[in-house]
Chain A
Amino acid sequence: MVATYLAAKTVALNVTLERLIKSQQALAREHQGFSTWLADILGQLSNRKRLLDTAVSIGQESTALLILREIERTRGYIETIWLPALEFEREEHRRVSRFIHKLAQQIGISYFEDVLSVLGQSWAVRSPAQLPLFYVPMYQDQTLFECAVLYHEFSHTLSRTSKAVETLHQAIAQYFDGILSSSIKGKPAQVEAQRRQVAECAMYWNEERVEEIFCDLFATHVSGPAFVCSWLDMTSRLERKLFRVNKNDVHPPDGFRTDACLRYLHNRWDQHPLMQWARTFWATQRGPGGGAPDDTVPYHVVCSDEVMDLIIKKTRQILMDLNVTAFDDDLPEVSSLTSFDDCTSLVKLINVAVAVHLLRPTDYPTWEGTVLPQVMQ
């Protein structure tokens, strides 16, 4: 039975591989980097196909099935993600890609060889770090508002090129190890329960969640109020408990992320109405905090002030070691916001865009109409 199945899959894979190679060879020349990378992946796929043939011919069906699953996963990526992104690219995609590339370069991310964009989805990134594919909302080429979210996505590519996330993860793990090795006092049953709780908290902070909070703080570091305000706006739209410790979500609680970003942010903008808006708005949104009663991991332990301070301090140090430049510009007074039209620094422009949108909303469409054509070319 398995042998027949493997024989059928082998034949099908031959046909599919041929089709994929043809599509790759027909790709537009302007994406030479992606084309070369895909050719390399297809080469690896052909090698795995040969490995599959070998496993089949020596009668190792279980091994063959394992290889087949690997092949199908890679085929899936190419067929459903990379080739469609390249083949169905239109001018608006290219416009966004150019903008994203420039945005990254201006904050010192110089390793993108090329950029691809897919419109019509929530912000996300897939990569090899040097050749990232960004998912962005449908009208990203027509607005600057919320662009700051892209800085969070850039940080995911940084995670691939540095040990930043691993260093932060280690620091958090060591913190919980420290609690466990210290003497927890009480009756044996209480001590055991407490130890179990600390262990669960340590496991909660897995590499994915650590990476997500790192990306938030990176975005806050490089874009200042723009990211914090865009993030605040996003969380207000999500109908969920802001401080719930949800083990099925790869992100830490939204409330924790917001508090951490606000705490990370330099106080130089405290007197600016944009940050006053942010803090007042958050005060109305956050409620009492403290997680949900049915959380299996209690918020006050897993997301304690100590944990937040540790994450902030360590991230600041990591970014300093990596020479990541912090956004440090003054923001214009509210009265002069709409006369700001200097598009040299995109990060400053995005900060102004957020300020105009939130503080002078009726002026936003006209203002954006004057600056957008200069940056989205």
Chain B
Amino acid sequence: MSRLGALANKIDRLETTLHELTEALVRLQVASLERTREFNIDANDIEVDRAKMLSFLSSVSKSLLRDTAFFALTLEERTWQAIARGLLSNGNSADDWHEDLAAVIGSLERGQLRDVNWSTIQQVLGTLDAGITDDMRRIEGW
């Protein structure tokens, strides 16, 4: 009956998402430096990572502009919405973020990894990470 149950379930789900995305991020960064052979990374994996990252960033981007007065969202959509809210709480407007994300999405779509602004992706993933940490604090009473 403590705060653990439901929150622990949520944290585990978000952590799985974050794990997958940080893994994709590192591989894409390696690929952007053309050092995949050195780190034994397969070209097919890079394609999978690129698609994964594109899908994630597009979802967050859509959530930024979605009418917030609509609540019947799927579990995934709620995750993207929470990230979008986290991004907006840092000061930048929805339009600014949308523009930054559009630039990254464009570079990824064109396969121009050298042009990707990694900092944008790091900030988005950092927001997801901060959400997990907040939830953990609520459980542990930090």
Contact = CB atoms under 8 A, between A and B. Distances in A.
Interface of A: 44, 48, 51, 54-55, 58, 60, 62-63, 66-67, 69-70, 73, 121-127, 135, 149, 152-153, 156, 159-160, 165-166, 169-170, 173-174, 176-177, 180, 195, 199, 202-203, 206-209, 211-212, 215, 234, 249-251
B36 to A, nearest CB: 11
A123 B2 contact: yes
A207 B78 contact: yes
Contacts of A149: 1
B84 interface: no
Contacts of B2: 121-124, 135
Contacts of B3: 124, 249-251
A69 B129 contact: yes
Interface stretch (B19-27, B42-50, B54-62, B94-102): B19-27
Given A70-B19, A203-B71, A63 B29 contact: yes
Contact of A156 (B5, B125, B138): B5
A10 B14 CA distance: 25
In terms of DSSP, what is the predominant structure of the interface of chain B?
helix
Contacts of A208: 6-7, 10
Closest 4 CB pairs of A and B: A156-B5, A211-B6, A124-B4, A173-B71
Interface centre among B4, B119, B126 (most CB of A within 10 A): B4
13 contacts: A66-B126, A122-B2, A123-B2, A124-B3, A135-B2, A152-B5, A153-B5, A165-B6, A166-B74, A174-B72, A208-B6, A212-B5, A215-B6
Contact of B71 (A122, A202, A234): A202
Contacts of A203: 71
B21 to A, nearest CB: 9
Interface residues of B, number: 41
Contacts of B89: none
Given A55-B26, A70-B22, A207-B78, 4 more contacts: A58-B29, A63-B29, A121-B2, A176-B71
Contacts of A212: 5-6
A62 B124 CA distance: 12
Contact of B26 (A63, A125, A176): A63
A195 B68 CA distance: 11
Contacts of A180: 69-70
Interface centre among B9, B73, B75 (most CB of A within 10 A): B9
Nearest to A234: B1
Nearest to B11: A73
Nearest to A206: B78
Contact of B75 (A122, A123, A166, A234): A166
B122 interface: yes
Contacts of A159: 6, 9
Contact of B25 (A63, A153, A234): A63
B71 A215 contact: no
B82 to A, nearest CB: 9
Interface centre among B2, B5, B35, B70 (most CB of A within 10 A): B5
A102 B42 CA distance: 48
A159 B5 CA distance: 10
A208 to B, nearest CB: 4
A249 to B, nearest CB: 8
A140 to B, nearest CB: 13
A195 B69 CA distance: 8
B8 A127 contact: yes
